[in-house]
Amino acid sequence: MSDTIIAIDGPSGSGKGTISRRVAARLGWRLLDSGALYRLVALGGAARGLDPSDESGHAQVATTLDARFEVNERGGERVLLDGADVTRELRAETTGNMASVVAAMPAVRAALLGRQRAYAEAAGLVADGRDMGTVVFPDAGLKVFLTASADERARRRYNQLKEKGLPANLAGLSQEILERDRRDSARSVAPLRPAADAVVIDSTGCTIEEVVAQVLSLARLRFPVNP
């Protein structure tokens, strides 16, 4: 099935989430939001009172993760963890930062690998993350590495959080984005980097639709699809 996988990797705020969602919708393919899995492990660990540095505890949470991704009445996302609605907390910046810490733990990454690969059992998957093209789906038929300047990413994150009615502070976000980039790129397992065969797209100054169009035209060249 690997030939019908589009891997979209890149740093926080590069627009991967929105772009992956739109590309998947246009192709009628499934979506794997792998960052959400790391976010859920961090939330699950916190709910169980785990120490943030407890690797085996978080790996256990990852192995037994009871997560459901649903669509709410307005067509937006609803995410349930152990049956409880965690949609709002999931997207909070504090959760992203906690996720970046647990994502550096090899046992957590190993525990989530099979769950992520299971998304590709049926044909047609858009996989969004940091290591989709390098580790999880190394044979993906199309690999995109999406980036943008740190300033632009902080601005986008700020707007996204405000739109969701979540608290946001631009200077703080810039700082956190740089720190998260550093942690995600410097870790020893599955660091954030483009796969050797990835197409790098710098979306600084581009609209979401321009980037979506670019990915779809690459998809048209690689796959027998008609988006």
CA distance 72 to 60: 29
Q: Per CB under 6 A, does 34 bind ligand DC?
A: yes
130 is a site residue for ligand DC (CB under 6 A): yes
Please identify the residue of the shown chain whose CB is closest to the bound ligand DC: 35
Decide: is 89 part of the binding site for ligand DC (CB under 6 A).
no
Among 6, 86, 99, 173, binds ligand DC (CB under 6 A): 99
Q: How many CB atoms lie within 10 A of CB 140?
A: 28
Q: How far apart are CA 50 and CA 2, in angstroms?
A: 36
Q: Single out the residue of 55, 7, 59 nearest to residue 33, CA to CA.
A: 7
> Judged by CB under 6 A, does residue 96 bind ligand DC?
yes
DSSP tag of 132 = I
- Based on CB atoms, which residue is closest to ligand DC, 88 or 220? 88
Task: Report the C-alpha gap between 199 and 196 in whole angstroms.
Answer: 9
Q: Does 177 sit near ligand DC (CB under 6 A)?
A: no
Residue 105 DSSP code: -
Residues 6+ apart with CB under 8 A from 194: 9, 133, 143, 145, 200
Binding-site member from 24, 184, 214, 223 for ligand DC (CB under 6 A): 184
The answer to the question of residue 203 lying near ligand DC (CB under 6 A) is: no
User: At its nearest, how many Å lie between ligand DC and the CB of residue 102?
Assistant: 8
Q: Which residue in the set 20, 60, 100, 214 belongs to the binding site for ligand DC (CB under 6 A)?
A: 100
Residues near ligand DC (CB under 6 A) are 12, 34-35, 38-39, 96, 99-100, 103, 129-131, 180, 184
